[in-house]
Structure formats: structure tokens, C-alpha cells
Amino acid sequence: HGIWIHGMPLNGDREKFTQGCLAINNDSLKSLEKNIDYKKTVLITSHDEFKKAKKDDIALILSSIYKWKEAWKVSNLNEYLSYYSKDFKRSDRSDFN
């Protein structure tokens, strides 16, 4: 069970066979197998084309992640928690406060 990535049927009629999985062109699938470690890869899909991210946006995201991680590493709890919404709930649905 689950969502699988697999090649296309030889007759090209994928709708009957995919059942919610991702069916991609067989040559592309061979390329993925050579270039991606499936155990360490996250796949994001969309019906629409993804907009290319701007370098400044990527830099801002990575910088924020680094600062969040560093705050945790040095036990700066106030800064660490500042990265979370005040509406954030714990797994038991209780507030942080």
C-alpha cells in the first residue's frame, strides 16, 4: 500500500493502472534510479508547474532554519520559541505556555 512511483504501461494508458500513484515516462524513471537515493529523497509534486524560487527567498529560508537550529543548540529558549506561531499546539493539543 502507499503511493508508488512507477513507469508507464507500454500502451500509454496510465489512468487504469496508477490508482493514485505517480506514473512517469520510463526513460525518466531510469534516470531517477541512477541519480537519486530513494531512501534519502523527498518528492514534491503538483498538478501545476512549480514557480522557480528566487535566490533571496531561498537564502532567507535557509538562514531562518540555521538560526532556529542554533537557538536550540545553545538553549536560547526564547529565540527558539519565537520561530513558532503563538497558536502552535503540542502533539497533545495543549498550548506551549
pLDDT digits (tens, 9 = 90+) for 65-95: 999 999 999 999 999 999 988 888 878 888 7
Q: Please give the Cα distance from 32 to 65 (Å, whole number).
A: 28
pLDDT digits (tens, 9 = 90+) for 13-64: 666 667 777 888 888 888 888 888 878 887 777 778 878 899 999 999 999 9
Question: Contact 96/81 with Cβ under 8 angstroms?
Answer: yes
- Angle, vertex CA 87, rays to CA 69 and CA 95, nearest 5: 85
For cell 503538483, name the residue. 46
* pTM of the model as a whole: 0.48
